[in-house]
Amino acid sequence: MSTLNVRVAAIEQVTPLVKHFTLMREDGQHFPTFSGGSHVVVAMDINGRTHRNAYSLMGSPDDTEAYHISVRRQEHSRGGSVFMHDNVVEGSQLQITMPVNLFSLSKMGRKHILIAGGIGITPFMSQLHDIQRNGYNYELHYAFRSLEHGAFSDQLKARCGNHAHIYVDRLGQKLDLRELLGSQPLGTHVYVCGPSSMVTAVLETARELGWPENHIHSEQFTAPPMGDAFTVQLAKSKTEITVPNDITLLEALETAGVNPDSLCRGGACGRCELDVLELDGEIFHHDHYLSDAEKASNRKIMPCVSRARCTHMLLDI
Ligand code: FES
C-alpha cells in the first residue's frame, strides 16, 4: 500500500487519556480527499520493531491541508498508543498509509443512527461532515465513562445541536438500545463504533429487532492482543519466522519482507486472511471476520489480530 511521509504539526491533550494529532505532509503537497469514516495506518518504530496502528481520520474530508487523528492511551496493550503519547512530539516524522474506508455511510440510508462509545467517536467526526454537507437525517448517540473522558463532547453538542444525545455512565445516563432501535423509520441505517461490548449489544439488538443485515454497520478499535512468541513456516516463501510476544503475525511477516494484503488491521475486513496448511497446536482467533466453523477448523488465520500456540504451523504464503 502506498504511504505518505508526514510531520506532526500540532498536538492537543483533549482528555486525560486522549491526544489529538494534526499531521501535515512532509513534501508540502496537499493530502488526498477522503470520505467520512476513513482511516489511515500509522507506522511506528518501537524498540527496533515496526508497529502499525489504524486511526480514523477526524477532520473534514475536504480539508487537504492536514489530516487529524486522535489516540487514546492504552496502558496495557502493545505500546503503539503509549508511543504516540510519550514519544511523538510536534515536529516528529511519521509514515502513514493512504486513507481507506471500511466504515462509510450508506448513500441509500433515509436516516442514519450513529452510536459511539468512548474513543469510538473518532470515525463519526468525519462522517458528520458528510452527513451535514448532504443534509442527511441523523442522530448521534455518544456514551462515555465520565465527564472528563468525553472527548469532543462540547464541540459535538455545538455542532449537532439536538441531533446529539450524550450519555455519561458515572451520571447514571444509559442508552436504551431497544427503545432507540425499535422506533426508527424504514430505511434507517445504524453505525456503531466503540468497545466490543457496545458493538455486540448494538448488533444483537438490531438483529433481534429484525433490522436488515446491510443496514447495520460496525467498526471496532480492538488493539491486537499480545501473547507468547511462536514460530511459523511459510510454504511459498520457504522460510520460517518467529513472532515475538508484542507484535502481530502480520507485522512479523511484514518485517520479514512478506507482505500479505491488509486494510483494517483489526480483524474486521478479511483482507489479510491466510490459509493454514499444517498445525500442531491451537490458534487464538481474535477477529470478527471468520465464521465459528472456520475458526474451529483451524484452517484459516487473520494475522492482523490472531496468534497461535504451536511448534509447527505452515502458512500458505
Ligand atoms: S487486515 Fe482486516 S482482517 Fe486483517
- CA of 269 from ligand 1 middle (Å) equals 5
- What is the total count of domains within the chain? 3
Q: What pLDDT does 76 receive?
A: 73
Report how far residue 36's alpha carbon sits from residue 316's, in angstroms, rounded to the nearest whole number.
Answer: 35
Q: Are residues 194 and 258 in the same domain?
A: no
Same domain as 77, residue 18: yes
For residue 225, being part of any structural domain is answered with: no
Position 282 scores a pLDDT of 94
CB within 6 Å of ligand 1 — which residues? 262-265, 267-272, 287, 289, 302, 304
Q: Is residue 106 part of a domain?
A: no
- 163: number of Cβ within 10 Å: 18
Residue 281 belongs to some domain of the structure: yes
| pTM flag (> 0.85) | yes
Query: Which residue among 97, 269, 301, 306 has the greatest number of ligand 1 atoms within 8 angstroms of its CB, and so is best to mutate?
Result: 269
Q: Give the distance (Å) from ligand 1 centre to CA of residue 220.
A: 12
CA of 195 to the centre of ligand 1 (A): 18
Domain with 269 in it: what CATH number?
Answer: 3.10.20.30
pLDDT band for position 264 (cuts 50, 70, 90)? confident
Range of the domain at 193: 111-220
Cell of residue 41, nine digits: 495506518
Chain segment 171-226, per-residue pLDDT in tens: 999 999 999 999 999 999 999 999 989 999 999 999 999 999 999 999 976 677 88
CA separation for the pair 53, 40 (Å, rounded):
8
Residue type at 233 in one-letter notation: Q
Q: How far apart are CA 62 and CA 57, in angstroms?
A: 12
- Tell me whether residue 204 is in a domain: yes
| Span 162-169, average pLDDT | 98
**Are 196 and 289 part of one and the same domain?**
no
Percentage of the chain with pLDDT > 70?
A: 99
| Same-domain pairing of 157 and 211 | yes
Q: For 194-200, which contacts have Cβ atoms below 8 Å and span 24 or more sequence positions?
A: 194/115, 194/116, 194/117, 194/118, 194/119, 194/120, 194/143, 194/220, 194/221, 195/117, 195/118, 195/120, 195/220, 196/220, 196/222, 198/115, 198/117, 198/120, 198/143
Distance 261 CA to ligand 1 centre (A): 8
Q: Domain boundary at 220, 245, 267, which?
A: 220
Higher pLDDT, 50 or 188: 188
Strand partners, 143: 117, 167
| Domain co-membership, 78 together with 115 | no
From the alpha carbon of 102, which atom of ligand 1 is closest? 2
- For 214, list phi and psi in degrees, rounded to 5: -80, 5
pLDDT for 1 equals: 64
Are 71 and 9 within one domain?
Answer: yes
Task: Give mean pLDDT, residues 108-113.
Answer: 96
Whether 143 contacts 213, CB under 8 Å:
no
Same domain, residue pair 131 and 215 = yes
Q: Is 182 a member of any domain?
A: yes
Residues 206 and 148 in one domain: yes
Can you give the pLDDT at residue 49?
81
Quick one: which atom of ligand 1 is closest to the CA of 305? Answer: 4
Mutation choice for ligand 1 from 219, 294, 302, CB with most ligand atoms inside 8 A: 302
Kindly report, residue by residue over 303-312, the tens digit of the pLDDT. 999 999 998 9
Q: How confident is the prediction for the chain on average, in pLDDT?
A: 94
CA distance 74 to 68: 19
Q: Give the ligand 1 atom nearest the CA of 250.
A: 4
For the domain that residue 213 is a member of, what is the CATH number?
3.40.50.80
CATH of the domain at 38: 2.40.30.10
Q: Pick from 101, 128, 147: which residue ends a domain?
A: 101
Domain boundary among 57, 77, 101: 101
Average pLDDT over residues 15-37: 97
The set of cell numbers assigned to 317 is 504464503
Residue 103 C-alpha to ligand 1 middle, in angstroms? 14
Distance 290 CA to ligand 1 centre (A): 11
pLDDT at 226: 82
Q: Where are the beta strands (DSSP E) in 119-236?
A: 138-144, 164-168, 188-194, 216-220, 230-234
- Rounded CA separation 5/260 (Å): 22
In sequence order, the 6+-apart residues with CB closer than 8 A to the CB of 259 are: 253
**Are 140 and 85 found together in one domain?**
no
135-148 average pLDDT score: 97
**Residue 54 and residue 96: Cα distance in Å, rounded?**
9
* Residue 91 CA to ligand 1 centre (angstroms): 31
- Note whether 240 and 275 are same-domain residues: yes
Length of the chain measured in residues: 317
Distance CA 73, CA 164 (A): 25
Percent above pLDDT 90 for the chain = 85
Res. 99: pLDDT tops 90:
yes
Q: Give, for ligand 1, the residue of 101, 253, 262, 317 to mutate: max count of ligand atoms closer than 8 Å to Cβ.
A: 262
State the distance from the centre of ligand 1 to the C-alpha of 286, rounded, in angstroms.
Answer: 11
One domain for residues 236 and 283: yes
In a domain, 177, yes or no: yes
Q: Quick one: which atom of ligand 1 is closest to the CA of 261?
A: 1
CA 112 to chain centre: 20
| 151, part of any domain | yes
- Among 55, 39, 121, residue whose Cα is nearest residue 88: 55
Pocket test residue of 40, 263, 290 for ligand 1, highest count of atoms within 8 A of CB: 263
Task: Tell me, yes or no, whether 205 and 118 share the same domain.
Answer: yes
Rounded Cα distance between 222 and 195, Å, is 7
pLDDT at 88 over 70: yes
Nearest ligand 1 atom to alpha carbon 272 = 4
- Tell how far the Cα of 264 is from the centroid of ligand 1, in angstroms: 5
